[in-house]
Homo-oligomer: A and B are copies of this chain.
Amino acid sequence: MAAADLIELWRGGLMESVHRGHAVVWDRGGMVAAWGDADAVIFPRSSCKMLQALPLIESGAADAAGLGTEQLALACASHQGARIHVDRVAAWLDGLGLAEPDLRCGAHMPNDPPENRRLTCSDEAPCQLHNNCSGKHAGFLTWTRHHRAGPDYHEPDHPLQQAVRRVFEEVTDETSPGYGIDGCSAPNFATSVSGLARAMSAFAVAASGEGSGARTAAMRRLTRAMTAHPDLVAGEGRACTELMRAMGGRVAVKTGAEAVFVAIAPDRGLGIALKVADGATRASEAAITALLVRLGLLDAGHPVVGKYLTDPLRNWRGIAVAERRLATGFDA
């Protein structure tokens, strides 16, 4: 089945660009709604960090290291390298007796404007702590140290990544057709859009307080850590942070590279997963915003709905020149 038109960009009364993709809503009863191909195989990229963090908790490594909700939120984060992120990850590694060189995520300039400006204007190079995945990697190191495993925790054949794959396949209830290497050098396992939505619903049910057992407890802790610290999951001005704040901690959302977006709504035991086929973040942000409003999880009148979907787009002189629209079929 083909991708469905999701988000359109209109200018001067004509459609200028269009984004196609796949979206699935899943709850306790199974698939509630779908657009495009629910079976489309995708790489969740950073949208599945809460899945990659399950072994950290289930193994007892998180508790042995005394991790709190801030570290668990950072383990699920694609942060923008602000001081609130960098300093916490540095302290976390220090508490493990480790340091920045133990990371395997690589370094890149932070997206946080003040920190980016500080590095740019002081000719200081970014370090691996600035990598948006450094929290996930600190979690990987916590598991690795707890299990006295080898230092190259990012290798696909490392026991940590094997554990991640087992958990990923169990929660998505699919055998992963394969993996790709992510921007942070860790393997990223493929699944279907419906498999990812199913997994997000499992996190939602667990976070609602239902069920018991180690996995349910781990899913509950990670979801609640994300909603408790929206600023640590992404950063000021970022969609994940602003959407979670707008929903008052009732819903966890997470973006992934190449236009993946997921949501976890504990009150409804509901999970959402979507992938924009062309990889455009502007469209995945608009599409998740539309679904959150349609499902009654986000107030249509909230300013973030305007920012990510309904406000006109303005040019350099502030003139409204274009608008985003929901494509026919995705609009109801």
Inter-subunit contact A12/B181 (CB<8 Å): yes
Beta-carbon contacts of A1-33 to B below 8 Å, as 1s and 0s?
Answer: 000000001011110111110000000000000
State how many residues of chain A have any CB contact under 8 Å with chain B. Answer: 47
Does A179 sit at the interface, judged by CB under 8 A? yes
Binds B, one of A90-98, A202-210, A317-325: A317-325
Closest Cβ neighbor of A11 among chain B residues? B180
Closest Cβ neighbor of A280 among chain B residues? B278
| Residues in A150-179 with C-beta less than 8 Å from chain B | 177-179
- Give A322 Cβ to nearest chain B Cβ, in Å: 7
- Give A193 Cβ to nearest chain B Cβ, in Å: 13
* CB neighbours of A317 from chain B (8 A): 104-106, 185
Beta-carbon contacts of A24-60 to B below 8 Å, as 1s and 0s?
Answer: 0000000000000000011100000000000000000
* CB neighbours of A321 from chain B (8 A): 180-183
Inter-subunit contact B11/A315 (CB<8 Å): no
Closest Cβ neighbor of A317 among chain B residues? B106
* Residue from B12, B42, B279 in contact with A180 in the complex, judged by beta carbons closer than 8 Å: B12
Does A184 sit at the interface, judged by CB under 8 A? yes
Copies of this chain in the oligomer: 2
* CB neighbours of A120 from chain B (8 A): 117, 120-121
Inter-subunit contact A316/B117 (CB<8 Å): no
* CB neighbours of A318 from chain B (8 A): 106
Inter-subunit contact B121/A258 (CB<8 Å): no
* Residue from B18, B107, B188 in contact with A278 in the complex, judged by beta carbons closer than 8 Å: B18
Does A250 sit at the interface, judged by CB under 8 A? no
CB within 8 Å for A316 and B181 given contacts A16-B42, A19-B278: no
Inter-subunit contact B107/A316 (CB<8 Å): yes
* CB neighbours of A20 from chain B (8 A): 20, 278
Does A144 sit at the interface, judged by CB under 8 A? no
Cα separation A176 to B240 with both chains bound (whole Å): 41
Does A200 sit at the interface, judged by CB under 8 A? no
Does A291 sit at the interface, judged by CB under 8 A? no
In the complex, besides A14-B180, A180-B322, A183-B316, 4 extra interface pairs with C-beta distance below 8 angstroms are A20-B20, A105-B316, A107-B316, A121-B121
29 contacts between A and B (CB under 8 A): A9-B279, A11-B180, A12-B178, A12-B188, A12-B190, A13-B178, A16-B42, A16-B180, A16-B258, A16-B279, A17-B258, A17-B259, A17-B277, A17-B279, A104-B317, A106-B315, A106-B317, A107-B316, A108-B316, A117-B120, A120-B121, A180-B322, A181-B319, A184-B315, A185-B316, A278-B278, A278-B280, A278-B283, A280-B280
Residues of A within 8 A of B (CB): 9, 11-14, 16-20, 41-43, 104-108, 117, 120-121, 131, 177-185, 188, 190, 258-259, 277-280, 283, 315-319, 321-322
